[in-house]
Amino acid sequence: MPDEPSAMPLPHEVLDLARAARHVAVFSGAGISAESGVPTFREVQRGLWEQYSAQDLATPEAFENDPALVHTWYRWRAALIQQVSPNPGHRALAQWQRRLAAGGGSLSISTQNVDDLHERAGAEVLAHLHGRITAHHCHECGAPAQITAPHDDGADEPGEPEDPPVCQVCQEGLIRPSVVWFGEPLPMADFENTAEAMRSADLILVVGTSGLVQPAASLPLLGMERGTPLIEINPEPTELSDAMHHRLRGPAGEVLPALVQALEVD
């Protein structure tokens, strides 16, 4: 069962769709992580770091120009993520995924978030479309790499810049986080797997995403080819709202537990 009972009313049409769905595709964005306290990219630009823009910290060129600066900032951001926990929305999706799997169905999760909160809630994730901040690889040869987890000291700002490790495979390249930086393509396998999930689902949920970051944001619309119902869960209207069949205005941490709770009492 979800963590806490919820009295949030949900439209009967939405409940009927959820009860009938055997293959659900979920597309999640920054909103669901923000409810856990994960700061957005802009929110962590504070103190001395306010002078840096996204282009200073999240492009291949930025890493090549100042690898210590970029490495240290991402390590600090990873440490911030370690301090937070999955919220009831994450846990409700994990519960729904297990429920469908037990009956021979499926619930796939494709996320734009680089954190691991879905996994820590107990869910299996089909795709991390923008990479994972806890994974690393060589910037030159692409070999995957393991580095020690960042120290969780709760610091308000990153420490002094430190050089990233050197790749142990090619002995030349520097180790970088396996996130998708501006100007880089999305991971093809994750993109294709998400596209297939959207095309084969009989219900699609778009949770906590603004719909601004392309090309990932357009993936849920692939369900429109088959007339698949699309449900948006977001406190505010988004770029995708007009394409949705149903729009549930509220936090994922409240709407999703209410939805899964309704399924559990059937």
- Annotated binding residue at 74? yes
Distance CA 26, CA 202 (A): 11
238 and 153 inside one domain: no
77 and 120 inside one domain: no
Query: Which residues are designated catalytic?
Result: 130
Question: Which pTM value belongs to this model?
Answer: 0.91
Does some domain include residue 22?
Answer: yes
159 and 147 inside one domain: yes
- Annotated binding residue at 173? no
Q: Are strands 230-233 and 203-207 parallel, antiparallel or unpaired?
A: parallel
211 and 249 inside one domain: yes
- Annotated binding residue at 170? yes
- Annotated binding residue at 134? no
Distance CA 27, CA 190 (A): 12
CB 36 within 8 A of CB 84: yes
29 and 141 inside one domain: no
How many domains does the structure of the chain reveal?
2
256 and 220 inside one domain: yes
142 and 24 inside one domain: no
Give the domain range for residue 213: 12-37+86-130+186-264
Full pLDDT tens readout for the chain, 266 residues = 445 445 578 999 999 999 999 999 999 999 999 999 987 665 655 554 566 776 678 999 999 999 999 999 899 889 989 999 999 999 999 999 999 999 999 999 999 999 999 999 999 999 999 999 999 999 999 999 999 877 655 566 667 889 999 999 999 999 999 999 999 999 999 999 999 999 999 999 999 998 878 888 899 999 988 999 999 999 999 999 999 999 999 999 999 999 999 998 76
> Which single residue is written with the structure tokens 């994960």?
38
CB 232 within 8 A of CB 240: yes
